[in-house]
Copies of this chain bind each other. A is one copy, B any other.
């Protein structure tokens, strides 16, 4: 929940005016998103979201993120479409921050995804991968295997304050993943952070995929592994095979998996679990004094990592044997 940057109304109106989207009628700071400041905007021509990018997003990456969203929204994925100003620019500056306006999308995220939600998500992910295949931009995944050891080193000295033995467990998992991580799987532009927060539904249909600020160029099936972790476990830590089947079949209906992708899935799922374990652990150990936002539990992802370490083959996620 956050509006980090307060914008004077006059400045906001002048900024909106550059985009040719009508007269500004209302603007409300939105209490969501932990990386950026977001405003809901109503103009005489419609509804939009204005985002001011705070320091956790690198300004150099913004043309990739905005370009990918624009590309995907032209390819049948419902995602926010950046609005270009009269000079043709999607990225501007407001209150000293990089800023952009995107179309508003209806729909609500779900806290407890159903099987039907998982199936619809699989379809949306496949559309994202297929739609992104001819996008010219690329961006390295800074949070893939090469990025994990630096995170681990930042967290290691205090990791055992969270749970006795955690540092050693991570070290073992990380060393194995560094050795085994696959290099030649089909690549493309991926979302890389497709948690339930970032998907809107109306009923059982996906009405919006948002928050492309971790998007990058990496193995397409790594995105599936992120989603298996984020969508298919129950609150008690158990893996819901029916949800896994639904997610994977929803995806495969639009994009077939290669045999290498199928085989790599348990490994990718371990990697995805470790990636979120590590970033959550770093956040957990670095809560600023007085923070209102409680960091997410890193140990949820330790449990998922252990689950995947016991998976022998991809059929256990719900793929046909």
Contact = CB atoms under 8 A, between A and B. Distances in A.
A14 interface: no
B292 A31 contact: no
Interface string A26-43: 111111100000001010
A1 B29 contact: yes
Interface stretch (A104-112, A216-224, A267-275): A104-112
B106 A9 contact: no
Contacts of A28: 28, 30-32, 40
A110 B25 CA distance: 13
A289 interface: yes
A40 B106 CA distance: 12
A52 interface: no
A2 interface: yes
A9 B25 CA distance: 27
A136 interface: no
Q: Copy number of this protein in the oligomer? A: 2
Nearest to A200: B26
A281 to B, nearest CB: 23
Interface residues of A, number: 32
A30 to B, nearest CB: 5
A105 B1 CA distance: 23
21 contacts: A1-B1, A1-B31, A2-B31, A9-B108, A9-B109, A9-B111, A25-B107, A25-B202, A26-B106, A26-B107, A27-B108, A28-B30, A28-B40, A29-B30, A31-B31, A40-B40, A42-B106, A289-B290, A290-B290, A290-B291, A292-B292
Contacts of A106: 25-26, 42
Interface in A4-60: 8-10, 13, 24-32, 40, 42
Given A28-B40, A30-B29, A9 B292 contact: no
